[in-house]
Amino acid sequence: MIRREDVEQLLAVGNESRSFEVKGPGSLKEKPFVAKVARAVMAMGNRRDGGVVCVGVDEPQMKEMQPGLDDDQASEWADYDNVAAALAKYSDPAVVFELAGYALSSGANVVVLDVAEFDVVPHVCKKTFPEVLQDGMTYVRPRGKPESVPVPNSAEMRALLDLATAKGVREWVRVGTLAGVPLTETKSQEQLDEEEYTKERTTAWAEPSPVVAGLLEIGYFDVAVRPTTYSSGRILPVDLESFVTDNTVRLRGWPLPFVDYRAPRFRKGTMVGQDLEASGVPHHEAWRMWGSGQFLQRRALASDLRDHSDLLPADPSATGAVAVWDVLLYLVEVAEFGARMSTYLEGPPITFDVGVSGVSGRELISGDHRRQLYGPYISPLDTLETHQSVASARLLTEPRQVGVELAQDLLKQFGLNVPDQVLFDYQAQILDPS
């Protein structure tokens, strides 16, 4: 379930996105309003990783986080069973969501529906409501203007069908693996050419923007996710941006990578990218996508952007901090992105080159007051790195385990040694709360 702090960060951006929509305020007894919320949750449910609908905030007042629900409205929308029953009247299959009521720092009360991606087949409207919903229509959140609308064109319909197909492929691989069916990897005609990938990385970061230059002054993740073997033309230049948006991972409130449709993207040969320094939100990142299938991202450490007591080092001699949860959750998301890349590219093994830089003298901390580390665990090096190549069958069936293993490789370089299961349980507690 998305946290209140993450909701406030998304509201602070000041506009809706493909994965975040605001509605309201309104009553659960107002049928036109409920129909509009149903349209939004069906569209979110038809997105990869789903999305969030915040009831109680008007779009023009997102930054102010106003006006909020009155007490009666908040009470109505906080009743999960009644909300689920009201929305189920319109959606086939019923939308799966988590629900929470939050009192925002602005004083406004809202109810948030964290909508899950559809399970087997997309959500289709089964009941007409005049001027809002049409029986038989499938609603989506298309690229471009963030809104919940019927599938507007063949490209959006193909994206929805591709998502359903990808889910079927991953389920087939999972069941086949459990049944002992041998699953062979797609063979490449070229051997891994590390030099070619290195040339792409060098070119990608050769002319740093102010955002990239700023990242070099603080602590940051430096990640490359790529097919193990090199081929320059896996993805056509015209398809690079849609590849990124179609495979974006949203396991928490913030997507990986973040694509800002209001800001320009840039192209250089067979590469597309964007540098982001979100206004009013503690988030700095730069990403690059190559036609070879190599994805690059540099992203600031949470401990360098957020002013919070849980993110301070305990050792007074430490130069700064690195939070376990920041490393763990980020690399779980990176592994999931690699799984989606493998599905899109028809099953090549995927290689992860992961580094965290600017960490000399930093202390590894929990970052969560409920979980303590008994160190200190201080990094002796400025850059810590790990490298792992993963067969597609394993990556598609165990992406979170791969993410835990990547995180372990970095955490052990601080001197921390905990069982994989501890980290696996920790990420599951945050990403899949019961």
Instruction: Residue 7: name the closest of 46, 49, 62 by CA.
Output: 62
Report pLDDT for 37: 96
Give the β-pairing of 266-268 and 271-277.
antiparallel
Closest by Cα among 404, 385, 384 to 394 = 404
Hey, what are 45's tokens?
A: 């449910």
Task: Give the separation between CA 414 and CA 61, rounded to whole angstroms.
Answer: 44
- For residues 318 and 145, the answer to whether their CB atoms sit within 8 Å is no
Pinpoint the alpha helices (H) of 256-377: 324-344
Say if CB 294 and CB 309 are below 8 A apart: no
pLDDT per position as a tens digit, 306-358: 777 778 888 899 999 999 999 999 999 999 999 999 999 988 999 999 999 99
- Closest by CA to 423, choosing from 285, 329, 349, is 329
Strand order in the sheet with 109-115: 20-23, 51-55, 109-115, 97-103
Domains of the chain: residue spans and CATH: 4-157 (3.30.950.30), 194-431 (no CATH)
Is the pLDDT at 30 greater than 90? The verdict is yes
Chain centroid, CA 224 distance in Å? 16
CA–CA separation, 361 and 372 (whole Å): 20
Predicted local confidence at residue 280, as pLDDT:
58
Compute the CA torsion angle 16, 18, 19, 21 (nearest 10 deg): 40
pLDDT at position 323 is 93
Residue 69 in contact with residue 77, Cβ under 8 Å? yes
SS (HEC) of 69-81 = CCHHHHHHHCCHH
Answer whether residue 91 shows pLDDT above 60: yes
**Bridge-based pairing state of the strands 295-300 and 350-357:** unpaired
In tens, the pLDDT along 129-160 reads 999 999 999 999 998 788 999 999 988 898 89
% of residues, the chain, pLDDT over 90: 67
Q: Are the C-beta atoms of 400 and 335 separated by less than 8 Å?
A: yes
Indicate if the pLDDT at residue 210 is higher than 80. yes
Strand runs labelled E in 248-368: 266-268, 271-277, 284-290, 295-300, 320-323, 350-357, 362-365
Contacts of 15 (CB under 8 A, 6+ apart): 59, 62, 146, 262
Average pLDDT over residues 16-45: 94
Polymer length of the chain: 434
What would the pLDDT profile of 158-206 be if each residue is shown by its tens digit?
889 888 888 777 777 777 777 777 665 554 445 567 899 999 999 999 9
pLDDT of residue 187: 45
- Low-confidence winner among 192-206, 250-264, 400-414 (lowest mean pLDDT): 250-264
SS3 at position 357: strand
**159, 246 contact by CB (below 8 A):** yes
- The tokens for 88 are 């189920």
Full-model pTM: 0.69
Query: Can you tell me the distance from the alpha carbon of 159 to that of 144, in angstroms, rounded to the nearest whole number?
Result: 14
pLDDT for 307 equals 73
Confidence of residue 9 (pLDDT cuts 50, 70, 90): very high
Q: How far apart are CA 187 and CA 201, in angstroms?
A: 25
What is the DSSP track for 113-168?
EEEPPPSSS--EE-S-BTTTB-TT--EE--SSS---EE--SHHHHHHHHHHHHHHH
Give, in order, the Cα–Cα distances in Å from 282 to each of 56, 129, 254, 306, 308. 24, 40, 11, 6, 12
User: What integer pLDDT is reported at residue 188 of this predicted model?
Assistant: 41
Instruction: Please state, rounded to an integer, the average pLDDT across all residues of the chain.
Output: 90
